[in-house]
Chains A and B, each alone.
Chain A
Amino acid sequence: MTWPPFLLNALLAGTAIAVAAGLVGYFVVLRAQVFTGDALSHVAFTGALAALALGVDERLGLFAATIGVGIALGALGERGRADDVVVGSVFAWILGLGVFFLTLYTTNNSAGNGNAGINVLFGSIFGLNRSEAVTATIVAAVIAAVVVTIARPLLFASIDGAVAAARGVPVRMLGYGFLALVGAAAAEASQAVGALLLLGMLAAPAGTAQRLTTRPFSALLISAGLAVGEMWAGLALSYTVPALPPSFAILAVATGGYALALLLTRNTHRVRRGWRTERSAKRA
């Protein structure tokens, strides 16, 4: 069987993006910054459309907007963690700006660009060409490498910021650095599943992993592994059933995995508890 090039490109970029999103997402969930990820999904939309409207590379706008706003949101909150009302107000306005750029872009390019907004919002991973896929892979590899490098101090700072600061961990700097990473990961993920759905790429594998284990480093690995597996399954599903768009298939698999984990772990808890009561009853 020969694989069509668009599928290979999607697999290449998708794998790398999934690793980056899974690693970053674990810390996003751990640090209770999911709402910031939510905000960045709207920022990604505005960034990409601003770039399109101004006629520069879409990815330039994506990365500039998400990384810039990610750091700015950190600056607005205490110790690199933004308050949810501030985050909400900022991204609501940025989304308004996105609508402005969408109008600007569609009125300036009247012919056949009505779907540009849809593509930015919901992604088109099967539309990536070879050079785009290679760039996305390199950027994702860099993000993953940085996360792995700072994983230990970041974990310390995330779980107990005060003690970490007392031990000389640069908590504030890590907070900013991490938000920049979330921005970069958001920009990457939006190339795969689109601006509106990137939150699922960040949250679903990470939430599943946290449900499966309480050990942080195992959870980090499981999160990345799950993200990759869900990406492959989603791409395969979408390729075999052409009616399903890839973004939907990836999100559906990821959501299914999370739902399964929620059900199974709840059951094991119940089983364990039941076992314990049974044993104590026997002893009595």
Chain B
Amino acid sequence: MTLADGPSWNPIIDLQQMWSFPFMVNAFRAGTIVAVLAGVMGHFMVLRRQSFAGHTLSLIGFPGAAGAVLIGVAASYGYFAFCLAGALVIAAMPRAGPGGYSAESAVIATVQSFALACGFLFVALYKGFLNGVNALLFGNFLGISTGQVIVLGVVAAVSLAVLGVIGRPLAFASIDPDVATARNVPVRALSGAFLVLLGAATAEASQITGTLLVFALLVMPAATAQTLTARPARALALTAAIGLVVTWLGLSVAYYTPFPVGFFVTSFAFAGYVAAQAVRHTRPRWRAVSTAGSPSPTGIAR
């Protein structure tokens, strides 16, 4: 994707040059929306220790998209149908508690593998579609139309609005489900609603990032932010900021090199995570001070 000789290292000129291409503008717009959406969803996913469910939801989109192509409808429908159905299935399963989901996790794992196997079957049945598989799995950041950006924006706005309404009780239910139940918070309904939102967000985001890479934007910015602070509002803002920075950096660097966006985005996000871990381990007192204001919620800052 080398369209320029190289960066001039003047950020304004470089941005102007990149944004003279409509596809780069759309990539930045879509990247911004996806980063914020995935970051906010990821914040709650990490808070609720549902990484495995989130990862499974993000992978379930693949057979959906492949199946949709096979029967000749738009891939978007497939993404949404499968991710939402997957969210409902996972929500219907009982949760044994944080980390202690031995038998249930075997079910999730089997569902995930079978879904991927179905995706592979659809690809195999639809001969000649093999080259599109890589786009489904690893994303297509540089081929986004303006229409897709608009749909993405609408889905993100709706998801974030719903999350804004249920955010406070959801955080309560995530941090201490027993006390929340005692206070008449509908913990189970919130959990289901969150999984459906997560499914919708991953369905939309994975059309841009690919089903294999959407998980990176869900987990890493949120994990980094929650390593640095235990205050929910600050962590949420930090998550969105980290997501934006790594996505923009990834897009910019990928523009000047022949390597894919996904590699740079995940690498920058991981570098941030490692740096945050290093900060936390080398400065334990700093962490103690920064979390002193709020009692450390279970499992966030161990």
- Which A residues lie at the B interface, using CB under 8 A? 29-32, 34-35, 37-38, 42, 83-90, 92-93, 95-97, 99-100, 102-104, 107, 114-115, 117-118, 121-122, 193-194, 196-204, 206-207, 210-211, 243-245, 247-248, 251-252, 254-255, 258, 262
Question: Does B260 make an interface contact (CB < 8 A)?
Answer: yes
- A-B interface, 10 closest residue pairs, ranked by CB to CB distance from nearest: A200-B113, A96-B266, A207-B106, A93-B270, A203-B109, A92-B216, A251-B117, A100-B263, A34-B105, A88-B219
The secondary-structure label for the interface of chain A is helix
- Which B residues lie at the A interface, using CB under 8 A? 46, 49, 51-52, 55, 59, 99-103, 105-114, 116-118, 120-121, 123-125, 130-131, 133-134, 137-138, 212-213, 215-216, 219-220, 223, 226, 258-260, 262-267, 269-270, 273, 302
State A87–B216 Cα separation when bound (angstroms): 11
Known: A97-B267, A114-B130. 10 other contacts (CB 8 A): A85-B226, A89-B220, A92-B219, A93-B216, A93-B220, A95-B212, A103-B258, A114-B131, A200-B112, A262-B107
Contact of B113 among A87, A118, A197 (CB under 8 A): A197
- Subset of 23 A-B contacts with CB under 8 Å: A34-B105, A38-B52, A38-B55, A38-B112, A42-B212, A83-B302, A84-B51, A84-B52, A85-B49, A89-B273, A92-B213, A92-B219, A92-B220, A92-B269, A99-B138, A99-B212, A99-B262, A99-B263, A100-B259, A199-B112, A203-B109, A258-B106, A262-B107
- Closest residue of A by beta carbon distance from B272: A89
Contact of B101 among A32, A245, A252 (CB under 8 A): A32
* Contact indicator B258/A107 (Cβ below 8 Å): yes
Min Cβ gap B162→A in Å is 24
Cβ of A90: which chain B residues have Cβ within 8 Å of it?
270
The secondary-structure label for the interface of chain B is helix
State A85–B259 Cα separation when bound (angstroms): 27
Cβ of B223: which chain A residues have Cβ within 8 Å of it?
85-86, 88-89
With A93-B267, A93-B270, A96-B213 already in contact, the answer to whether A34 and B52 are too (CB < 8 A) is yes
- Closest residue of B by beta carbon distance from A35: B52
State A247–B273 Cα separation when bound (angstroms): 35
* Contact indicator A210/B265 (Cβ below 8 Å): no
Cβ of B117: which chain A residues have Cβ within 8 Å of it?
122, 193, 197, 200, 247-248, 251-252, 255
- Closest residue of B by beta carbon distance from A258: B110
* Contact indicator A37/B263 (Cβ below 8 Å): no
* Contact indicator A29/B102 (Cβ below 8 Å): yes
Cβ of B264: which chain A residues have Cβ within 8 Å of it?
96
* Contact indicator B121/A248 (Cβ below 8 Å): yes
* Contact indicator B270/A95 (Cβ below 8 Å): no
With A38-B109, A203-B110 already in contact, the answer to whether A210 and B120 are too (CB < 8 A) is no
Cβ of A84: which chain B residues have Cβ within 8 Å of it?
49, 51-52, 99
Contact of B114 among A86, A122, A194, A200 (CB under 8 A): A200
Cβ of B103: which chain A residues have Cβ within 8 Å of it?
29, 207, 210-211
State A194–B113 Cα separation when bound (angstroms): 11
* Contact indicator A95/B213 (Cβ below 8 Å): yes
* Contact indicator A32/B100 (Cβ below 8 Å): yes
With A84-B99, A96-B262 already in contact, the answer to whether A199 and B109 are too (CB < 8 A) is yes
Contact of B263 among A103, A202, A204, A207 (CB under 8 A): A103
